[in-house]
Every structure is written in structure tokens, then in C-alpha cells.
Structure 1
Amino acid sequence: MLAFAALSASYFAHIGFFNPYLPLWLQSLGLPLITISLLTSVQSVTRVFAPYAWGALSDHLGDRVLLLRVSAAVALVASLGLLWNGGPWWIFLVLLVMFIHTGSMMSLTEAALAQLVAGDWGRYGRIRMCGSAGFLLTVFVAGAWFEHFGMGHFPAWATATLALVLLATLRLPVMREPRGTRTEARQPVMPVLRQPAVRWFFASLFFHVTAHFSVYGFISLYLDSLGYSKSSIGLLWAVSVVAEVLWFWLQGHVIGRLRMPQWLLLCGAATVLRLGMTAWMAHWMWAVIIAQLLHALSFAAHHTTCVALVSRHFTGQLRGRGQALFTVIGYGFGGVIGVLAGGAAAQRFGFVTMFGAATALALIGSLCAWRVTRLERAAITRRP
């Protein structure tokens, strides 16, 4: 538990500075908005194919810890390439190698954690809380650092935080599942995907995360355009992570009060409210603070709900591929479309219109979640 908590803390400490400030670093290099959106979308592009490949390999080998160590080591070496400004194409290649490996770590870790906690989502929340705390630390400290010293130290931050991730993976215990036989390795996922509840769940996930990438990819640039300082932007990111930490700390006491599909619907409604407030009320800091506090539901509760639903439907030798599909459909396809379409919309129509479109996508995701609740209710009714 402590080893996985350390990995979660170090991994999200890396994400906590990298994701919020990557667009601002690229902007400091003089790159146009469309190029920034293309480069920030590289992470999502790799999540279209990399997590499933790593997940299938982990299901076959049964050794996710080894794969986590390899991923961390390669990402660390690749990050050194950011120290040299070779132009957009060089940055693209460096980010591509980095994200192929760091992007796979989420699904590998989630699969290992699902095996470890065995349905105890209170324990899961406490481990993820350490990740949120790591995110909170770096998003706040990095914001103050970049405000004072400028964005030039961004590459060094990337290398330092990935070194911590590698050290954390080296402390993980050996956790091997039985090596898959030829029959097990070919166990198909299509019978599970044909289930209506699973299809509607993944549809809800896709629209929800696609909408959410308006926050991940553009809220820093949006707030900067409204005159917010870099330290204020970092503080507002920190507000969302404080809400996330509190949720993960308390979720063991509250998550059992609703069924998982009901949580999925509630989280979707919270996302609609959050993005709507961000779109049309961002000139008032109090409104942005409330919107960021909704991160507790729009991300934290939604993430636990999705991991729980994937674990329910994808068991045994399907565990790794199930968690990988969660990453591919949500953060892969959803991320690519969210960042690229969001960047194009923001450049042509402005950030307000872009966040308004994201609000509409979140509403569609909520309707899909409502369909999941109906299917579960019907299934309960049919039980003898």
C-alpha cells in the first residue's frame, strides 16, 4: 500500500506541473495556438494505442510492476530531449516517446490497484489521495516558480519529477499474476463489449472526458487571456486538487450510498454545471473557484466510478485490457478530439464558445449515463 501510494504521489506530482504548464511553456517558445494544441494532443494520441498494447502484454506476462519500471526509465531518458529546443518537430518526437510510456502507467497501475484493493474503494481512495497531494504540491510550487523565474526551467522540472517516478517504481513489491496460457491470452473482450450497459458506459465516458479536456488543455490559457496571473492560475488548479484530495479521503464513507451507475449520472451533471460556469462566469474568481471545487465530482468521483465499473465487467485475464480500454476510449480518443477540436474552436471562435461546446458534450455524456442507470434498474427488476 505504501509503495503504491509513493508511486501515485510521484506520478501525479509529475502530471501536476507538466499538464497545466506545458501549454504555457510552448507559448513562451513563441508557438501559435494551433501548434500548441497539436503538441498537447500528443499525449492523447498515444493513449489511443499504447495503453491497450501494454495492457494486453501485462495480461499475458502477469508482471505489471516490471512494465511500470521499464516505462518510467524510458520516459526519464526521453525527457532529457526537452532540454534542447529543436523546434516543434523535435518537441513532438520527444513528447511522443515520453507519452507512450507515461500514458501506459495509468492503466497498468489501475489494474494492479484493482487487484490489490479487491473492491475496497476506501483503500483505493486513500492511495489516490496521495497522488492528488503530489499534484497539489507541484501545481502550486511550479506556478510560483514559473511566475518568478519564467518558463525556461520547465524541461528540468520534467526530468526531476520523472526521476522520482522511476525511484518509486523500484520500490514496488513484486506482484505477479499467473502467466497467461495461450487460451487465456486469447480470451476475447468482444462478448463483454456487446453488453448494452458496457457500451453505454463507454459512450458516457467518451463524451465526459472529451468535454473535460477543455479544462485540461485550455483553462490555463483561458484564464491567462482574462488577466489572471500565473500564480493565480496555479492556485485555481490547486483548489480543484484540494477538492479531489478531500473526496478521495472521504469516498469510503459515501460512495456506498449510491450504486455506481447513479454516481456516473451525478458526476455527469456536476460536469455540465462546472463547464457552464467556466464558459460564462469566468470573469468572477468566486465562480471559477466554485467550478474548480466541482472537480471532486467531475473528476475524482467519476474516476473511481469508472474504475469500479470496469473492474465489475472485466475480470481475471481481462483486467489489464479492461483498464486499458478505459484509458483508450476516454483519455485516448476523447483526449485527441477534445484537444484538437478545442484548439481549433478556441482559435476560430474564442474560449467562451469552446467551453460552451464542451458543456454540450458533457450533457450528452450525462444522458448516456442516465441510460446506464436505466439498464441497471431493468436488470435488477428481472432478477428472481
Structure 2
Amino acid sequence: MPAPAPAPAPAAGGRGHLLAFAALSASYFAHIGFFNPYLPLWLKDLGLPIFTISLLTSVQSITRVFAPYAWGAVSDHTGHRVLLLRISAAVALVSSFGLWWHGGAWWLGLVLLVMFTHTSSMMSLTEAAMAHLVAGDWGRYGRIRLWGSAGFLVTVFFAGEWFEHFGMGHFPAWAGGTLAIVLIATLRLPDVREPAAAHSMVKDPVGPVLRIPAVRWFFMSLFFHVMAHFAVYGFLSLYLDSLGYGKGTIGLLWALSVVAEIAWFYLQGRLLGLFAMPRWLLICGVAAVLRMGITAGCGPWVWALAAAQALHALSFAAHHTACIAMVSRHFPGRLRGRGQALFTVIGYGFGGVLGVLAGGAIAQHFGYVAMFGVATLLAVVGSICAWRAQRLEAGAF
């Protein structure tokens, strides 16, 4: 008798593939959920001054200037996005072991450079693969992405409670443990590739796309919007600590922002249709202005900080989906990897580097309130750029 035919592989975008990407999103943001909020507090616990802390936390943004585009170009050429994700996770895990040795600021900078060079490329590679799978179904995209928010929520809360009771000394163990889970998640991903990208030697140029005025204004709005948010990403924990809030309360405020994020990703399939994507960019920009302004002026009132954190649903979650939609529209097919990389490089790379370094300098000389005031002004500029992009994109979505 002839041998039975092998079972067909799941179709791209099938339930098994989407669950695998949901697991990766959950594990990756579980790592981010503990690492980003508590890295500044760990560095402070090591006795480092604020400006040195800002330099070390800016390493992640520095790597986002070059790593995502380099990995994105390789993925567009080869189509092996999942293999690159596995390599990135493995190298990041091994490099995290260097956090156990306290060799001073230079050593920590080197360890973080190697680790972030690989973790900073992971989301652009993942987003490119996910955009291919969901094919513009932003409700389904949101349901995958909310698992990342849930992973962030779990670790930002439990890590805060852990560090409150046991101190910051276990930070390196948390780093290694969460990155090990990320590596396991990448090993379970399906090897989904876009055939044209996998076999063609032809490279579609990105220059013509970048010459479109609406694209330029979009990237400018992204730059200022994300630069403003690095006041939150880099210094919110230190700001709250300086006001006397405990690590448990800090963790709860971070967790609240992620609950709002999860709610948005769950509902966005029904909400995004209310406005065109460029209009959502403007709405999210206004939300960012309110968030930064409330944080700057109402720090002593925890209820006001909670309201500011709830605006994360718009200033981050809705903004993120609108940006992915804009990138997917203007950078299709073999441009997809480089388009997602440009999103990371311009926003979280250049915007992040300037945001963290400027934020550290302003906080050290003028205080955290002044820093959040500057972030409010940056969010205003980002909103103006978003308004201009919306005018140019009228009728496109």
C-alpha cells in the first residue's frame, strides 16, 4: 500500500500560526514589561548618577538606529524572518548573562549594546511577518497584539512586587529567565515566508516611497510623538520614585497603562472604522499632549497619574496600529521588512536616543517636571505633523 500522504501544513494566517505569534508577543513583552520600567531603578541601585543612567538606557534606542533596518534588509532579501528571530533571541539570552558581573558603566554599556542589538530588531521582524499573515485585518492583529500587552502587564506588576520585597539584586535573573522564554517562543514559530522575497535578487527601492510628502510628514509625526514618550519610557519610574511612590505603586501605574492598552487592542476591530488611519494619528497625538501635560503638572495626585496612564490606550496602542497600517500601505511586499524597520529606526531609534539623552540632561539640571513639560511640547509638534499627514492622505484610507 502506498504511504499515506503527509498532513497539509496549516495555511498561512491559520489559527496555529496566529497562536504561535501571540505566544511570541506575550513572551517578548513580558521581558520588556520588567526590563524597561525597572532597568533605571536597578542602575540607580548600583549607585550610578542620573545622567549615566540616561546614557545606559539610551543604548536600546541607539541600537534601534541601525539594527532593525539591517535585519529588515536581510529579511526582505532572504525571507527568513523566523530564523532571524531565533538567532536574535539566542544571542540576547547569552549576552544577558553579562549583567551578573558588575564591571562598571562601560561593561554594562557593552552588555546592553549586544543584547539590545538583537532584541531591538525582533519587533520589526515580527510585525512584518504578522502584517503578512493578518493581511489588513486589524481586529485580528489587535487580538494577537493584546497578548503582548498581557505579558507586559504580568511582569510589570509581579516584578514591581518582587523588587519591593526582595530588592533589585535579582534583576539579572529576571533578564535571563524572560529571554529564555522568548527563545522558546521563537522555536515554536512556523517558518512563514513570502515567496517573492525568498527567491528574488531584485531589491525594490525605498527612495521613491520616502519622497511622497504624506510619508515624510507621517515619519516626522512618528519621530516627535515617540521622542515625547521617552519621558515616560525612560524616566517615569524615577520620577515616581522621587515623589515618594513605592515600587508596588509604580508597578500598578505601569500596569494600568497596559490594561488600557489591552482594552484597546481587544476593541480596535470595532473602533478603528470610526475614522481613517491618518485621522487616528492626529487623535493619538492630542492624547499624547494631554498625557504628558497631566504627568508634568499633577505628579502628587495619584488619581491624575492614573488618568494619564489610561491615555496609553490612545497615545501608544491606537497610535501603534495606525502606524503599522500606514507602513503596510506604503511599504508592501518586498518593501515590508525595510518599512517596518524604518518605523522602528525613526521613532524608537533616533527619537528614542534624543528623547532619553535630552530627558536625562533636562531632568538632572531642571528636574523631572520640566522634562515632562518639554515632552508635552514635543507631543504638540508631533500632533501638528500628524495633522499635515492627515491632510495629504485625505481619502486614501
The two structures have a TM-score, normalised by structure 1, of 0.97
State the alpha-carbon separation in 1 of the partners of residues 122 and 393 from structure 2. 31
State the alpha-carbon separation in 1 of the partners of residues 257 and 291 from structure 2. 11
* Residues 1:24 and 2:41 aligned together: yes
| Matched-pair contact (CA < 8 Å) for 1:143–1:233 | yes
Residue 253 of structure 2 is matched in structure 1 by: 236
Residue 10 of structure 1 is matched in structure 2 by: 27
Letter in 1 for 2:181: L
State the alpha-carbon separation in 2 of the partners of residues 320 and 363 from structure 1. 30
* Residues 1:182 and 2:201 aligned together: yes
Letter in 2 for 1:279: A
Residue 313 of structure 1 is matched in structure 2 by: 330
Q: Deviations over 1:338-360 (max 9, x none)?
A: 00000000001110110000000
Letter in 2 for 1:134: G
| Matched-pair contact (CA < 8 Å) for 1:180–1:317 | no
Q: Per-residue deviation at 1:63?
A: 1.1
* Residues 1:164 and 2:181 aligned together: yes
Gaps of 5+ in 2: 1-17
Gaps of 5+ in 1: none
Q: Per-residue deviation at 1:180?
A: 4.3
State the alpha-carbon separation in 2 of the partners of residues 91 and 353 from structure 1. 28
Q: Deviations over 1:39-72 (max 9, x none)?
A: 0000000000000000000000001000000000
Residue 285 of structure 1 is matched in structure 2 by: 302
State the alpha-carbon separation in 1 of the partners of residues 392 and 325 from structure 2. 17
Residue 289 of structure 2 is matched in structure 1 by: 272
Residue 367 of structure 1 is matched in structure 2 by: 384
Once the two structures are superposed, the pairs formed by residues 33-112 of structure 1 within 5 Å of their partners are: 33-112=50-129
* Selected match of 1:130 from 132, 143, 147: 147
SS in 1 for 2:121: helix
* Residues 1:219 and 2:240 aligned together: no
* Residues 1:256 and 2:242 aligned together: no
Residue 209 of structure 2 is matched in structure 1 by: 192
RMSD of Structure 2 on Structure 1 (CA): 0.9
Q: Deviations over 1:283-331 (max 9, x none)?
A: 1000000000000000000000000000000011100000000000000
Letter in 1 for 2:275: L
SS in 2 for 1:27: helix
State the alpha-carbon separation in 1 of the partners of residues 22 and 182 from structure 2. 12
Q: Per-residue deviation at 1:377?
A: 2.4
Residue 3 of structure 2 is matched in structure 1 by: none
Q: Per-residue deviation at 1:115?
A: 0.1
Number of residue pairs matched by the alignment:
378
SS in 1 for 2:120: helix
| Matched-pair contact (CA < 8 Å) for 1:59–1:180 | no
Q: Deviations over 1:203-222 (max 9, x none)?
A: 00000000000000000000
Letter in 2 for 1:67: L
State the alpha-carbon separation in 1 of the partners of residues 67 and 292 from structure 2. 29
Q: Per-residue deviation at 1:33?
A: 0.4
Q: Per-residue deviation at 1:127?
A: 0.6
State the alpha-carbon separation in 2 of the partners of residues 151 and 377 from structure 1. 50
State the alpha-carbon separation in 2 of the partners of residues 159 and 225 from structure 1. 29
SS in 2 for 1:377: coil
| Matched-pair contact (CA < 8 Å) for 1:276–1:355 | yes
Q: Per-residue deviation at 1:176?
A: 1.6
Q: Per-residue deviation at 1:174?
A: 1.1
State the alpha-carbon separation in 2 of the partners of residues 108 and 377 from structure 1. 29
SS in 2 for 1:182: coil
